[in-house]
């Protein structure tokens, strides 16, 4: 594949970086903050956000979609459950759960902490966001209490997608009451190609 990745710092771009390292795939990196919301980037991502990718000349956005597609196309290293299998349905299930029940609340807090202009922020939503995140995190913690990884009990792209979110939450001190999540993150940190920051 010919991959051009528009990426930025510790954003969700890290998911794509990590997957590409695990698969040992070369890619062209474009990291330029001035491209945010630019006409160039909007040709790939309608909102002009990163990460976004051009793969074999075709645009694709949203980190989970980018990672899932690349993993599926790469046959020499098996990092995704096969299409049409129950395991693949579980991949879709956990990725959707991650985005709707975990990451959405973290993003809402971020938007109302430093992304929107101060006059537009709704600080009062943050405690509720944290409460809702923890409801989803409890589900994850219980699942991980007897699973080392999410799919087929082996490391897959699903772990890259969800691991990024859980580490984001850890940095916000939202995972301290979830021992299975903490143990899971330690397993991810120990991987050779893990790009998640532990600070």
Q: What is the pLDDT of residues 139-151, one digit of tens each?
A: 999 999 999 999 9
Confidence (pLDDT) at 173? 98
Q: Quote the CA–CA distance of 50 and 52 in Å, as a whole number.
A: 5
Write down the domain spans for the chain: 3-73, 86-189
Percentage of the residues of the chain whose pLDDT score is greater than 70:
100
The secondary element (H helix, E strand) that includes residue 115 is: none
β-partners of residue 5 are: 29, 53
Res 177 pLDDT > 90 = yes
Which of these, 68, 81, 198, lies nearest to 150 by C-alpha position? 81
CATH: 3.50.50.60, 3.40.50.720, 3.40.30.10, 3.90.480.20. Which one for 3-73? Answer: 3.40.30.10
Q: Quote the CA–CA distance of 77 and 55 in Å, as a whole number.
A: 19
Q: What are phi and psi of 3, to 5 degrees?
A: -120, 125
Query: CB-based contacts of 135: which residues, under 8 Å, 6+ apart?
Result: 101
pLDDT (mean) for 88-103:
98
| Cβ-based burial of 15 (10 A; exposed 0-12, middle 13-18, buried ≥19) | buried
Which of these, 86, 84, 85, 83, lies nearest to 68 by C-alpha position? 83
Q: What is the pLDDT of residues 54-83, one digit of tens each?
A: 999 999 999 999 999 999 999 899 999 999
Q: Which fold does the domain 86-189 belong to in CATH?
A: Glutathione S-transferase Yfyf (Class Pi); Chain A, domain 2 (1.20.1050)
Query: CB-based contacts of 172: which residues, under 8 Å, 6+ apart?
Result: 106, 109, 130
Decide: 5 and 53 in contact? Cβ < 8 Å: yes
pLDDT (mean) for 180-194:
98
Res 199 pLDDT > 90 = no
The secondary element (H helix, E strand) that includes residue 30 is: strand 28-30
Confidence (pLDDT) at 95? 98
pLDDT category of residue 155 using cuts at 50, 70 and 90: very high
Q: Quote the CA–CA distance of 176 and 35 in Å, as a whole number.
A: 36
Decide: 136 and 97 in contact? Cβ < 8 Å: yes
């Amino acid at each position: 594949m010919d991959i051009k990745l528009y990426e930025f710092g510790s954003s969700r771009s890290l998911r794509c970086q990590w997957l590409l390292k695990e698969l040992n795939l070369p890619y062209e990196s474009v990291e330029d903050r001035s491209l945010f919301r630019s006409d160039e980037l909007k040709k790939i991502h309608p909102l002009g956000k990163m990460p976004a990718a051009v793969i074999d000349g075709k645009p694709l956005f949203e980190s989970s979609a980018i990672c899932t597609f690349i993993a599926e196309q790469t046959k020499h290293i098996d990092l995704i459950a096969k299409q049409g299998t129950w395991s693949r349905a579980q991949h879709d299930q956990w990725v959707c759960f991650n985005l709707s029940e975990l990451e959405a609340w973290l993003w809402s807090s971020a938007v109302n902490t430093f992304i929107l202009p101060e006059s537009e922020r709704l600080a009062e939503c943050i405690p509720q966001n944290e409460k809702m995140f923890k409801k989803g995190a409890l589900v994850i913690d219980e699942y991980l209490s007897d699973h080392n990884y999410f799919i087929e009990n082996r490391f897959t792209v699903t772990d890259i997608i969800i691991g990024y979110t859980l580490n984001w939450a850890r940095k916000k001190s939202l995972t301290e009451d979830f021992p299975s999540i903490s143990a899971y993150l330690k397993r991810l940190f120990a991987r050779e190609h893990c790009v998640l920051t532990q600070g």
